[in-house]
Homo-oligomer: A and B are copies of this chain.
Amino acid sequence: MATQPVSENRSLNEECGIFGVWGHQSAADLTYYGLHALQHRGQEGAGIVANKQGRLWQERGLGLLSDVFSDPSRLQHLQGQSAIGHVRYATAGSGGIENIQPLMVNFSDMQLSLAHNGNITNALSLRRSLEQNGAIFQSSSDTEVLLHLIRRSSAPTFYDKLKDALRTVRGGFAFLLLTPTAMYAALDPHGFRPFVVGQMPDGQYIVTSETAALNAVGATFIRDVQPGELITIDQHGLKIDHYTTNTDLHIDAMEYIYFARPDSDIYGVNVHTARKRMGRLLAAEQPVEADLVVGVPNSSLSAAMGFAEAAGLPNEMGLVKNQYIARTFIEPTQERRERAVRMKLSAVPSVVAGKRVVLVDDSIVRGTTSKFIVWMLREAGASEVHIRIASPAFKYPSFYGVDMQTTEELLAANYSMTEMQEMLGVDSLAFLSVDGLVEAIDLPYEGNGTGLTTAYFDGHYPSPIYDYEPTLADAKADGLVDFQPEPTTTYHPNQVASLQKQQLQDAQTVG
């Protein structure tokens, strides 16, 4: 009998979160508090690297931040003037300590540390090419590729080597690098991931994944990192440069729908407000006769507020979330799955009994949890249950930093609306439209397109996906995807087209 933390049953996994601060006397402590505010972006591992009197020191471990640093001496070891940190989501099979970031290497002439949020789509090709040239990889993380590219670049300076390496990797990435003399931040050319710069009251700079982490440490928001930027922070202050100008904003819409905290702003849009608008527009697009609205706590509470207000229905607490960490013990799978949901969520009979309930959820991925929630509401006496999803149907795989690289398990990719309605056991089912989503987010973007990546919903991928093409080819063969990427300038020679899907899964890690 072994324990299994219930959080693993999450249907769609977040990506990673990163935080860095330069020149502050409590750098590691601030990083700890900042990472705590980003814990929702990764619960499987955490680490901090700090610069203490010209040397980098690393502490990292498996599990939640508070577990990794439960021994206070670990933070004490990291006292110094600058630090970067990482919280991590790990795919199955990649859970070893060697993959926990920030990665750190000790060259005889310099020390370098690296934290990454995203997914490098040509990592496998690059790794094979590097190994054929004698490189030894210690981790199975795609992140390590960048270190080898920097090390092997023939450019004259570290800064040029870094630019060289950034131009070689593909996909979605926000990188933080720390050396004894500077901190660097770089964002991919499409800006798939949120990445912001802030400033402490005394002027020290912070770069991190979400503005919520700035609030958590008492810092002020300065600006979003822009696609293609390479930012240097050192004793001379902050310098903004570009490693490429061939950029095109495509921030991942899932950040607004699901990943980011409601109190974060991304490119000027507050996430809670966007979610509430998704709920409002959903109520307008897909009205329903009902007695009350119930949101799935906690992620769907904003959308439920918006839906209830627009529909003129009372918003009730028909589902209650247990705020304590749940652990189930091994039971036959189905029983355990139900147990896990029951330990996290309870339906409230005295609220829903005899009532027609609109259940508002932010998304449906596999549908297993939704199905059980519906069952619990009916068990508690709800007379009707109507699901309204505050985002479009999730039909296509993702390759830019989300753990959903095949469509096999996606409910909406495999079943019709009628089939889904039946499988979930609901009286009606409806999704927000893609246009509604774009309108709800209302990104103040003036370039071509929407500035958003909505590939999950419409199959339009904004950039080539390199090593994942065989995967996507499978999806295309199933008639799912109409992929027409825009051309990009700097293809890498090692691009391969015929990798086996299994190999990809073996080697792949989301950072």
A469 on the B face (CB < 8 A): no
Asked whether A262 lies within 8 Å of B138 as measured between CB atoms, the reply is no
Cβ–Cβ < 8 Å partners of A3 in chain B: 70, 72
Closest 7 CB pairs of A and B: A270-B350, A263-B348, A134-B152, A138-B138, A263-B320, A39-B324, A1-B72
A492 on the B face (CB < 8 A): no
In the complex, A329→B262 CA distance in Å? 26
Interface residues of A in 413-430 (CB under 8 A from B): none
A92 on the B face (CB < 8 A): no
A107-B136, A305-B314 known; 17 other A-B pairs, CB under 8 Å? A33-B339, A39-B322, A40-B323, A40-B324, A43-B324, A65-B324, A66-B325, A66-B326, A75-B329, A97-B97, A105-B137, A106-B137, A108-B127, A134-B152, A136-B151, A272-B317, A272-B320
Q: What are 18 A-B contacts with C-beta separation under 8 Å? A: A33-B342, A36-B322, A37-B346, A66-B326, A98-B98, A105-B137, A136-B147, A136-B151, A138-B138, A212-B346, A216-B342, A261-B346, A262-B348, A263-B317, A270-B350, A298-B323, A323-B323, A325-B325
Q: Separation in Å of the A32 CB from the closest CB of chain B? A: 8
A291 on the B face (CB < 8 A): no
Interface residues of A in 262-301 (CB under 8 A from B): 262-263, 265, 270, 272-273, 276, 298, 301
In the complex, A309→B127 CA distance in Å? 58
Asked whether A37 lies within 8 Å of B322 as measured between CB atoms, the reply is yes
Best-buried of A97, A107, A148, A320 by chain B (most CB within 10 Å)? A320
Interface residues of A in 186-206 (CB under 8 A from B): none
Closest-by-CB residue of B relative to A96 is: B58
Cβ–Cβ < 8 Å partners of A134 in chain B: 133-135, 148, 151-152
Asked whether A2 lies within 8 Å of B342 as measured between CB atoms, the reply is no
A349 on the B face (CB < 8 A): yes
Cβ–Cβ < 8 Å partners of A70 in chain B: 3, 327
A440 on the B face (CB < 8 A): no
Q: Residues of A with Cβ closer than 8 Å to B?
A: 1-3, 29, 33, 36-37, 39-40, 43, 64-66, 69-70, 72-73, 75-76, 97-98, 105-109, 127-128, 131, 133-138, 140, 147-148, 151-152, 212, 215-216, 218, 261-263, 265, 270, 272-273, 276, 298, 301-302, 305, 309, 314-317, 320, 322-327, 329-330, 339, 342-343, 346-351, 380, 507
Residue from B151, B218, B343, B350 in contact with A265 in the complex, judged by beta carbons closer than 8 Å = B350
Closest-by-CB residue of B relative to A69 is: B327
Asked whether B1 lies within 8 Å of A320 as measured between CB atoms, the reply is no
Cβ–Cβ < 8 Å partners of A380 in chain B: 215
Q: Separation in Å of the A426 CB from the closest CB of chain B? A: 21
Closest-by-CB residue of B relative to A76 is: B1
Cβ–Cβ < 8 Å partners of A97 in chain B: 97
Closest-by-CB residue of B relative to A270 is: B350
Residue from B72, B136, B212, B350 in contact with A148 in the complex, judged by beta carbons closer than 8 Å = B136
